[in-house]
Structure 1
Amino acid sequence: MKRLLAAATGTLGCAAAAVTLVGCSSGGHSAAPASSTAPSASTGTNAQVKVGGADLPGVNPASVTCVRTGGKIDIGSGSTGGAQQALAVVLTDEATPKVESLALVVDGNALAVSNNMGAKVGSADVAVDGKTYTITGQAQGADMKNPMAGMITKDFSIKVSCG
């Protein structure tokens, strides 16, 4: 139960960070090297965010942003329709990117994909086609309406263009 609550708390922290476009990830990376390029940000990313095969209500695809900085790609959006929905993803910015962390808030439930200190939650794969990233997998988390019910799992698909 403590692990479940810790996962939910961590997920909400990542989601809140995405809303302010601050990356939340594991791996202990330090600041970008002095020779790195300036951050680039994209809006109007033609995003598609689906959970359980349906569009994630409350997240306007036009509000999804993509920021490349310090060897990371941060993708995020907060709720725009009054519902408690949010999206936060941190990818490595390399030829074969990996998901470092992913947080979704779906119907008030905090869902995550992470691998922190051997505690793996959910799964995610990334496919790249030019500047378009497709992230698919299963996110896990707590049912905030009934936390004693155990973990819940939701399939997700996120497609976003990052300039």
Structure 2
Amino acid sequence: MNTKPVRISAAALTAAAALALFVTGCSDDASTSPAAPSAKPATSAAPSGPAAGKSVAAVDGKALEGKFETTCAKQGGTLALALSDTSNATYGTLGVSASISGTDTVDAVAIAGSKGGSNGLPYALGFGNGMPGGSAKLVKDGNTYKITGEGVSGPDMSNPLAGPTTAKFDITFACSTVVGG
């Protein structure tokens, strides 16, 4: 029974890695503009209506402070959303991602950092549709996607018998554009 939570955590990390590869692949295909990537968000703002807003993430009500780059890509019926901060003071390389199928089904959510977890380990929190533990709900407003729910993290290695813990997440992906969408 103690190995099952580890599998859940491994599955969440695998889903996050797969999602990151999907988003990276879609982002590279869409980089036909001569503008520099850092200039893209400022020049790609929504042409009319309210501003796209700001991408943010929080776990258990505590904001994950970061300078997030937002990537939003659609391929077929899957929408991949990602926030990344490659030099986060607390979490090292911090990635927040979600995949959505259809118009409102959250398939997976992953929050991972190369550091910041318990006992010096990497930080990881995830949700996978159909896996035990956790939940996720999507609210869409234009190109802004707000996902709330609860994810499962790996066990604290100082007390592995305690099993995984859960934490609530609140993520806003403010997409200036949706590649392929």
**CA spacing shift, 1:4–1:16, aligned 2, 3 Å:** same
| Pairing 1:55-70 to 2, within 5 Å after superposition | 55-57=63-65, 59-61=66-68, 63-70=69-76
| Pairing 1:41-120 to 2, within 5 Å after superposition | 44=41, 46-57=54-65, 59-61=66-68, 63-82=69-88, 83-84=91-92, 85-94=94-103, 97-105=104-112, 107=116, 108-116=122-130, 119-120=131-132
Unaligned runs of 5+ in 1: 24-38
Secondary structure of 2:9's partner? helix
TM-score normalised by L of structure 1: 0.72
C-alpha distance in 2, partners of 1:137/1:40? 30
Secondary structure of 1:151's partner? coil
Amino acid in the other structure paired with 1:65: T
Q: How many residues align?
A: 142
Amino acid in the other structure paired with 1:80: T
Structure number having the greater helix percentage: 2
| Pairing 1:1-163 to 2, within 5 Å after superposition | 1-22=2-23, 44=41, 46-57=54-65, 59-61=66-68, 63-82=69-88, 83-84=91-92, 85-94=94-103, 97-105=104-112, 107=116, 108-116=122-130, 119-146=131-158, 147-162=160-175, 163=177
Q: What is the percentage of aligned positions where both structures have the same residue?
A: 25
Secondary structure of 2:86's partner? coil
**CA spacing shift, 1:113–1:153, aligned 2, 3 Å:** same
Unaligned runs of 5+ in 2: 32-39, 42-51, 117-121
